[in-house]
Amino acid sequence: MKTHYYLGWFNDGLPEKLVRLLNEDITDRKSLVMISANPFLHEDEEVGATEGSWLNQANLKFDEYHLIDYGVQKEEAQMLIQKASVIFLLGGSPVELNGILIEYELSDLIKKSGALVMGTSAGAINMSAKWLCSKYTGYKGEKSFICDGIGLDNFSILSHFDLENNITQIKGELDPLSEEMNVYASNKDCAVRVKGDKIDILGNVYLISHSKIQKLDQTI
């Protein structure tokens, strides 16, 4: 049964409910492979440090730790994905993360992998089927457009959603996509967990579907 975690950002570490679930779901702890969303900064030791601290706090320890960025050769990156127990797509730039996934041809390998896949912020966005590339997701271009993600599940994730301040602008841009698939919009201290056919919600997550928005009840 494939398990995917779409995480927001956690300034104060992971909540206890999420820690418990991760410990239940992550039974194979041989190899953790992180994919950088700032892949050009391959000499920056801060990349992945916060996400790694979350796992340490949750007492999730692995035999091997690997980070894929442009300092790693394409063939090696593909091999690491194929051998991974857990694949963690990190926070940072959604566009740059999308770029390395395409250039290194990792998306299909991640979809075929038996590993648990999790992503936070930019990572969660790129795990979804399609996502909005706009100023609301850190894109500095003039026009917004829709990007293809890995497509682990047939929905879209917006992981920088500020309902109170951006609802009119962002919803207008998301409405066309919401006619095609569900859009889960979240911000901080939240998670969408997909295990098999079941979707669980932690924190403040909103569903935009057919141009209508509703706050989802927590199930975790």
Q: Which residues pair with 201 in a beta bridge?
A: 192
99-128: pLDDT as tens digits:
999 999 999 999 999 999 999 999 999 999
Q: List the domains of the chain with CATH numbers.
A: 3-215 (3.40.50.880)
Per-residue model confidence (pLDDT) at position 163: 58
Strands (E), the chain: 3-7, 31-37, 64-68, 86-92, 116-120, 130-133, 145-148, 156-158, 183-186, 191-195, 198-202, 205-209, 212-215
Q: How far apart are CA 15 and CA 128, in angstroms?
A: 23
Helices (H), 26-132: 49-57, 74-83, 94-103, 107-112, 122-127
Give the model confidence (pLDDT) of 130-182 as tens digits: 998 877 666 667 788 899 999 999 999 988 766 555 666 777 888 899 999 99
* pLDDT per residue as tens digits for the range 51-87: 999 999 999 999 999 999 999 999 999 999 999 999 9
Query: Taking the model in full, what pTM does it have?
Result: 0.93
In the prediction, which pLDDT does 47 show? 72
Tokens representing 137 are: 């997701």
Q: Give 194's pLDDT tier (boundaries 50, 70, 90).
A: very high
Whether the per-residue pLDDT at 46 is higher than 80: the answer is no
Residue 87 and residue 107 in contact, taking contact as beta carbons nearer than 8 Å: no
- Residue (of 44, 46, 140) closest to 93 by Cα position: 140
